[in-house]
Amino acid sequence: MRQATNWERCWGTNENSVCRFFFLIGVSILFVNCIIGNDHQYIFKSLFFSFSSYVRFDIIRRILTKFFGNEVVMVMGITDIDDKIIKRANEMNISPPALARIYEEGFKQDMAALKVLPPTIYMRVTENIPQIISFIKQIIANGHAYATSKGNVYFDVRSWGNKYGKLTNHFSLAADTDKQHVQDFALWKAAKPQEIFWASPWGKGRPGWHIECSTISSTVFGNQLDIHTGGIDLAFPHHENEIAQCEAYYQCEQWCNYFLHSGHLHVKGNREKMSKSLKNYVTIKDFLKKFSSDEFRMFCLRSNYRSATEFSDESMDDAKNLLWAISSFINHANTYIKGQLVCEPIREDVLWERLANTKVNVKAAFADDFDTSRAVSAIMDLIHHGNRQLKAVTKEVGSPRSPIVYAAIISYIENLFNTVGISLGERQVISEERSPVMLSGVIDELVNFRIKVRNYARAVPEATEVESTVQSQEAKLEEKEKRRLLLLEREPLLQACDNLRRDLAAFGINIKDRGATSTWEAVDQRREQQRTERER
């Protein structure tokens, strides 16, 4: 595969150059599972295994734009006509484009749920048939394709010589009666009975899969593409054939500069990829009932986008624990910044140096084939050293405080994770539908009210030293009794504060009392339950 070991501006040296980015949805039916309900309505479930690629490449896109400052124009090609769509549409008595549009809308909803940014442009195959026909005609005119008596058009692989196979060095051997050679592949398919078709110079028919993507990307970007992405299973024959088609059309040496291929998602203990055909998949909606989109992003960040990745509850829990550790550090650091956490003297010079080194290491990792795993490790190392100095002491030692360095660390960490699509700056409470509802301000007000109530309940006046010397023994006993009765009177207020803390803990809100003040943090209830069970 043609890939950069270190990121560089493959499209030129101009700082204002635009990165041309093409992403393929592929055959729409692969991304959905259609189930007919008892009420004869159709339920479409987007498959989770396919979407891991979209999240991984969304992370890369965000790094290119938000971290390196590149202007990215992203086109997403949508195959809204193919054999499976036609077959299903005929069964449902609906047009294939209409059925594909239903699939497409479900796909977009799931992409939004996973926080994948929409492309700059969506391009549907059925809206570009004239351009596809024109593209095929030019390849024929350039001597690299031929039409058959049956109305099919094939790319002539032999005419392309040793230039075919430059991406994978693989060749197709699929037999077909009207091909001239077994390696040739279809550009235009003659229509079959009861099939949707378009008129063409070769008769009624529809495009082949590979030519669709070549035409769509060329319609927007012309003869040069910077980055083409897709799953590793698309490298051959799909991407290989795209290269041949475009370079034969433009008569150029190199059409695309970089192909980025994502690895498969594997079920734990099984070497087979997660797929619909093997029935070892989970739908997006079911997945998001158990885990959040941020947790899956962290799962993706922990491995290289090209790597085959093992998926399991354990690996997702690892990602969840990392997010918890990051959020916990930010909460503790904020507590220190606000003066609510008393620590030993902070080695500010050490932390400034650690922060500077982390920035260098993260940038180097992102520039090295988008090595997000190495970047996350650098962040966790910074957090480790930050936590080491946030050790609470019982008494104020009167040493100078260093809140600014922790504020800088928090700002860097939050901005970095925001860059890759993970939200750490705002604490979130998740509703039953798992849509983020920002209640941070509400909880802040509730905790502040509880602080006032708790401090009032505990604020029983003590006898002064002067009073204690002049008071008789009887008066002292009387004063002590008054304080006891006052404490007894206010005991329900303290009990209510404790009850509120306990009740909020059941919703994942953990209140920590720190002398005359209190702080709160959102905790993972499932993680806390697992920890409690281990302690037993």
pLDDT of residue 442: 82
Angle at 83 between CA 79 and CA 88, to 5 degrees: 95
pLDDT of residue 279: 54
Residue 196 gets the label, from left (phi > 0), alpha (psi -120 to 50) or beta, of beta
Rounded to whole angstroms, what are the CA distances from 402 to 220, 329, 359? 53, 16, 20
407-441: pLDDT as tens digits: 999 999 999 999 999 998 544 444 334 444 446 77
Q: Is 235 exposed, middle or buried (0-12, 13-18, 19+ CB in 10 A)?
A: middle
Q: Which domains does the chain have, with CATH numbers?
A: 30-290 (3.40.50.620), 312-420 (1.20.120), 436-459+479-535 (no CATH)
pLDDT of residue 45: 30
pLDDT of residue 493: 92
pLDDT of residue 337: 92
Instruction: Determine contact, residues 366/63, Cβ cutoff 8 Å.
Output: yes
pLDDT of residue 533: 59
* Residue segments in the chain with a per-residue pLDDT below the cut of 70: 1-50, 176, 268-281, 394-399, 425-439, 461-471, 524-536
Amino acid at 203: G
Q: 160 is written with which tokens?
A: 């392309």
Residue 418 gets the label, from left (phi > 0), alpha (psi -120 to 50) or beta, of alpha
137-189: pLDDT as tens digits: 999 999 999 999 999 999 999 999 899 988 988 887 777 679 999 999 999 99
pLDDT of residue 396: 65
pLDDT of residue 535: 58
Angle at 401 between CA 400 and CA 402, to 5 degrees: 125
pLDDT of residue 205: 97
